[in-house]
Chains A and B, each alone.
Chain A
Amino acid sequence: PHVRSFHHHFHTCRVQGAWPLLDNDFLFVQATSSPVAWGANATTTRKLTIIFKNMQECIDQKVYQAEVDNLPAAFEDGSINGGDRPGGSSLSIQTADPGSHVQIQAAYIGTTIIIRQTAGQLSFSIKVAEEVARAFSAEQDLQLCVGGCPPSQRLSRSERNRRGAITIDTARQLCKEGLPVEDAYFHSCVFDVLISGDPNFTVAAQTALEDARAFLPDLEKLHLFPSDAGVPLASAAFP
């Protein structure tokens, strides 16, 4: 998957298996990814697990799990809020498009999470209070949202240089329709469409940009360009 971190790293990562996106005193988020095709370096997220840790007067501990083709609009115990405590309603879950979209509002920690399914993969997007995102100890130092992907997990330029069934010009045209600015999201889109051969992958990058527009406090940082470390130079990588 492509990972945009809190500090505007933008990496295209392998991260096969289960990797922590977030691991702090309030939240634990884990993404499980697998290769898009046998032997491929590119992987895609098939499962997301989110643990909302219990908070004295607000919520009981709640677990949310989504997998491709199973995006429930409820927590694992079937509830849709934080439980019976006085502040239980400060955690809620709803959907605007059953099976494709889930939004979790965690007002007790100033956090909003959106999970989407497009083209057979899961996307994760979060807006979290800065103080909450920083509430972790030295042992919780592997968080893709904090430091981006470890160098060993980033796809190198040559590894990204794999041709799919669609030509680069076709991929660029498909992506350009929904992503007129040729930024990191555009390059991710071209990369995804090339690698998967599936035009539906354009939606993943488009909705990720929409979420960034909604969640970023400073829209100056909305568009990241290939000069930033680790951005998939899909168009440049495929001369």
Chain B
Amino acid sequence: CKILRCNAEYVSSTLSLRRGGSPGALRGGGGRAGGVGSSGLCRALRSYALCTRRTARTCRGDLAFHSAVHGIEDLMIQHNCSRSGSGPARSSGPPAPDPCDYEGRFSRLHGRPPGFLHCASFGD
């Protein structure tokens, strides 16, 4: 049962989103996510939920696992997170940068496209 690993991944992924809030880890019981941006939290919660689903078979009957699953449920409701890939229903404001789109994220952060380098190995 890898629930502790899921917990650790969730904590590390929300650490970078926090602004000084207390770690709202879902260790063994419904935690509270302190001061975390909602869209980033929703994405972290979806990853967390996916992780718990993947380890569900081997965690049957494990209290930490069931607490985590319920804790995730509560937080997703609390933060109005959707189950699919988008963040909470947003009333206004630009969409959150996709953490897996390096160029878009870099451009948004620096106001210019990233620099690139080229390397090659060929022939004999």
Contact = CB atoms under 8 A, between A and B. Distances in A.
Interface residues of B, number: 28
B85 A86 contact: yes
A21 B124 contact: no
A58 B43 CA distance: 11
Interface string B41-62: 0011011001000100000000
A215 B121 contact: no
A127 B119 CA distance: 7
Nearest to A55: B100
Interface string A42-76: 11110000000001111100000000000000000
A170 B83 CA distance: 65
A133 interface: yes
A90 B121 contact: no
B120 A126 contact: yes
A56 B12 contact: yes
A85 interface: yes
Interface stretch (B24-32, B67-75, B109-117): B109-117
Contacts of B50: 84-85
Given A56-B12, A57-B13, A217-B116, A44 B123 contact: yes
Nearest to A59: B100
Interface of B is mostly: mixed
Contact of B118 (A36, A42, A215): A215
A18 interface: no
Contacts of B98: 87
B106 A216 contact: no
Contacts of A4: 118-121
Interface residues of A, number: 61
B124 A57 contact: no
A123 B99 CA distance: 31
Given A87-B100, A107-B101, A131-B106, A124 B117 contact: no
A121 interface: yes
Contact of A2 (B9, B54, B123): B123
A181 interface: no
Nearest to B103: A110
Interface of B: 9, 12-13, 43-44, 46-47, 50, 54, 85, 98-103, 106, 114-124
19 contacts: A3-B120, A3-B121, A57-B99, A57-B100, A84-B54, A85-B47, A90-B100, A110-B116, A121-B122, A123-B121, A125-B119, A130-B116, A130-B117, A131-B114, A188-B122, A189-B123, A201-B123, A208-B123, A211-B120
Given A4-B121, A126-B120, 17 more contacts: A3-B120, A4-B120, A55-B100, A56-B47, A58-B100, A59-B100, A107-B102, A107-B103, A108-B99, A127-B116, A131-B115, A145-B119, A191-B123, A201-B123, A205-B123, A207-B122, A217-B118
